[in-house]
Structure 1
């Protein structure tokens, strides 16, 4: 059955009630006793990081290698989505992929993570002294592990192939449960308890992973505006910022992929490119290029050992395992979104764009932002790290811009880029959750707006309760990744199976 012959799917009430109800219960519990919720999440976080950390690491590693194998096999030329050519230009396509998948990491962690590893060298490099010239390359390479090839591969390669096969080629709904179609067939679609749970956990994980950055954006933009303009950093200001963001996200989600989302992501990529050029020309371009190539070489050379490092579980739970779990939690819904924007692309194009090009761009961006912070910290100890230690990632970003020429301009532009990175994730996830609820590539506008506003409302409630509640929700995605990882493991078999089936069908049609 072809995708064009599908019957429309109505609102999936069980999934809607379970996923939405779990979020509401989380907020109510946090409102009643925030400390209890934080303690419970910390306990579950520690348990999942300890017992599933190695599974998370192996899952992203195997996904990457299977994806590369498919890309460069005879299946790589297979065109996905029942389209003879892509429905959008390559530039716009990659812009949407970059901005949506990079999310809050685009600024928050690009500034903070390399610097954190510089002032406290990761245990894998325990022989190197903190804060020294020798610590620069290991610090950058360690951040590449968390935001490089493996993290991107889990977000939009094997899962995307399976969903495009099931939806566009076999007529199944555009839902996370369709990842299981090659195993269970149409049985997984009809009043399936397993299907409902798969959809619900996938939505819950990505909602938790999106609400956290929205809440942090309110806190951190409030800090940034205070540092740049002297505007009081109050709860009211933080709430106003979140309201503006979610209204923008709702409008963008309603206008759809080909208007609001595409416009915002293209603008943000051009803005980020402008910031890169500005920093390279006015900042420390020579230092950045030198250390990027050396750090990237170290990352590639130690690729397997760094990705499978298990020497310090406590450190891993704060960094590599935390980020891998976060991306795994995003995996099914992000694969669904990537499937929606990638019609007409070949398997090879998809995998190279998501698992090769995007990570290379990301690692260079991390070097431009975080490497600049490291340079100033190296030459004036405390110039960046003091702000990072006292006020967190947003302070690192502002502290870096204060060291550059034209600090007000750079600070304002970085703040704008931060807002748009989170906004594009919020609007894309509102659209994707709506697709998961209805099974349609173009869900009703009211549902898209509803999810954007609900995520914003939850963020406001958590910010009002206290920053610890936002932290708890952020950590909760590591817990929700536990059931999701088993769903993604099935793609080790189903993605090659789908590719083989498409290849055989194509051969029959051309005979």
Structure 2
């Protein structure tokens, strides 16, 4: 294992501390294929694999579904316990680093943050929560209300069933989910990139274990490719679901045709938005979209809190968070019903794990100058608590409406209809059409910001540059959107196969994340010594 305390910067690796003129000259000397990343094997591994996936879906969808289902069942059975322990330990170790002397360590090699706090947090919220948090916020609580999680058992009181439903939803979208996508891994990436000059790529996470082998040749390319495939699959799925969900909502609200043509137009619009935003860079399109979306989400939360079931929302949040904290370890380590776990907890853990390395790179890119304490508390504590409140605002309102009028939300949700659950909630609020449209806009921008950030991050990994060539950004943005279009043209089964495939991709990615459990504390301690803390 490479000694982090004595490691030196490889001479062949770009370092931010070089003279900017030299950097521009070096970039200028690159050939067109190098600028586009065509000479990077990771491009061909990841692009080729995704192309093969789509081709097989077009040629023999049943064979693809059979293969994916077999892989999915194996992944959740074999890796489920490991993933549960990995997420729990990631959160606990991160909190320990934030509380101790290492919390004052400043990351990124600069004293002051490059980005103000509001914009920084807005980008983090919009990128990590994404559109999934809108539809799942309405759907998951009602799903757990209709079919209570096995840990809680049968309850007679509808109020207690509702609290348990919120508590389980909080577990899936709370502390552990947020911690795995950008806490310990961000510390490792930021130190090795900004202080040691290693590339801003997933392979850098394994440098402390594999040394130079992780940075060069096909080993490094395969590491990057696994992470690109995982995050592309995790982004393509929501893009496809956006088309399906908005099309459904437009049909329900305005009687527009709910078919592939409508879905095609919606996804084409989303592709255009997030590709333009990615081309404009971190400090323009992405910041603007994130800022306005946070304002819109905040306005909707306040509106529902005031004009919705206020008392239920306040009580549900307080009691739901309390119940989650009281049952935190039992919920995180629950193994009594593997069938339920594979459909819920382990599925979500696989989805979030797939985002881990690439989100760490993205967070490292926007978080220079911030302390470990600020990074960990924002990502692993503040953001989850805000997410839980969002789930209470949307899903809690749905539970209140369901208790008051049984079937008013569960009926629309029947058949696991996620957009149906959301519309059932918004249509029971004052000015239902306006609120429903605003939620559709909110979801669309959430998906756009995720597509934007992942397009940018994949391009950074492939090209090796912090400001990738516009052509490569456009390619990955369009490629993910076109893949989503192809899969939804095959029916909901195409997207469902991709959603299950996301869990399979989490298997290799979770092994890439594992060393951060001990590397992040070692790095944080070494940096604390260096900074005289």
TM-score scaled by length of structure 2: 0.93
Q: Which residue does 1:445 correspond to in 2?
A: 470
Q: Deviations over 1:274-298 (max 9, x none)?
A: 0001101111111100111001001
| Paired residues of 1:3 and 1:170 also in contact (CA < 8 A) | no
Q: CA deviation at 1:329?
A: 0.8
Q: CA deviation at 1:256?
A: 1.1
Q: CA deviation at 1:183?
A: 2.7
Q: CA deviation at 1:450?
A: 1.2
2:17 aligned counterpart, secondary structure:
helix
1:408 aligned counterpart, secondary structure:
helix
1:404 aligned counterpart, secondary structure:
coil
Q: Which residue does 1:132 correspond to in 2?
A: 158
Superposed counterparts of 1:452-467, under 5 Å: 452-467=477-492
Matched residues in 1 for 2:72 and 2:416: separation? 23
User: 1:372 aligned to 2:385?
Assistant: no
Q: Which residue does 2:47 correspond to in 1?
A: 20
Matched residues in 2 for 1:104 and 1:155: separation? 16
Q: Which residue does 1:174 correspond to in 2?
A: 200
Matched residues in 1 for 2:70 and 2:206: separation? 31
| Paired residues of 1:79 and 1:344 also in contact (CA < 8 A) | yes
Q: Which residue does 1:45 correspond to in 2?
A: 72
Superposed counterparts of 1:227-242, under 5 Å: 227-242=252-267
Residue 184 of structure 1: which of 210, 215, 224 is its match?
A: 210
Which of 22-31 and 69-78 deviates more?
69-78
User: 1:63 aligned to 2:76?
Assistant: no
| Paired residues of 1:182 and 1:498 also in contact (CA < 8 A) | no
Matched residues in 2 for 1:281 and 1:310: separation? 40
User: 1:293 aligned to 2:321?
Assistant: no
Q: Which residue does 1:118 correspond to in 2?
A: 145
Q: Which residue does 2:112 correspond to in 1?
A: 85
Q: Which residue does 1:284 correspond to in 2?
A: 309
| Paired residues of 1:3 and 1:82 also in contact (CA < 8 A) | no
1:383 aligned counterpart, secondary structure:
coil
1:173 aligned counterpart, secondary structure:
coil
Matched residues in 2 for 1:487 and 1:113: separation? 30
| Paired residues of 1:159 and 1:332 also in contact (CA < 8 A) | yes
Q: Which residue does 2:186 correspond to in 1?
A: 160
Q: Which residue does 2:16 correspond to in 1?
A: 3
Q: Deviations over 1:251-310 (max 9, x none)?
A: 001111111011111111110100001101111111100111001001011111110001
Unaligned runs of 5+ in 2: 1-8, 10-14
User: 1:477 aligned to 2:485?
Assistant: no
Matched residues in 1 for 2:76 and 2:458: separation? 26
Q: Which residue does 1:144 correspond to in 2?
A: 170
| Paired residues of 1:183 and 1:494 also in contact (CA < 8 A) | no
Q: Which residue does 2:5 correspond to in 1?
A: none
| Paired residues of 1:87 and 1:344 also in contact (CA < 8 A) | yes
Q: Which residue does 2:329 correspond to in 1?
A: 304
Unaligned runs of 5+ in 1: none
Q: Which residue does 2:284 correspond to in 1?
A: 259
Residue 244 of structure 1: which of 259, 269, 273 is its match?
A: 269
Q: Deviations over 1:65-96 (max 9, x none)?
A: 11111111111111111111001111111111
| Paired residues of 2:40 and 2:221 also in contact (CA < 8 A) | no
User: 1:196 aligned to 2:221?
Assistant: yes
Q: Deviations over 1:142-182 (max 9, x none)?
A: 00110010010000001111111111111111000011122
| Paired residues of 1:210 and 1:426 also in contact (CA < 8 A) | yes
Matched residues in 1 for 2:467 and 2:371: separation? 22
Matched residues in 2 for 1:482 and 1:140: separation? 29
| Paired residues of 2:76 and 2:342 also in contact (CA < 8 A) | yes
| Paired residues of 2:132 and 2:238 also in contact (CA < 8 A) | no
How many residue pairs were aligned? 506
1:69 aligned counterpart, secondary structure:
helix
Q: CA deviation at 1:184?
A: 3.2
Q: Which residue does 1:270 correspond to in 2?
A: 295
| Paired residues of 1:15 and 1:199 also in contact (CA < 8 A) | yes
| Paired residues of 2:213 and 2:220 also in contact (CA < 8 A) | no
| Paired residues of 1:75 and 1:499 also in contact (CA < 8 A) | yes
Q: Which residue does 2:3 correspond to in 1?
A: none
Residue 434 of structure 1: which of 433, 436, 459 is its match?
A: 459
TM-score scaled by length of structure 1: 0.97
Matched residues in 2 for 1:125 and 1:411: separation? 33
Residue 240 of structure 2: which of 215, 232, 241 is its match?
A: 215
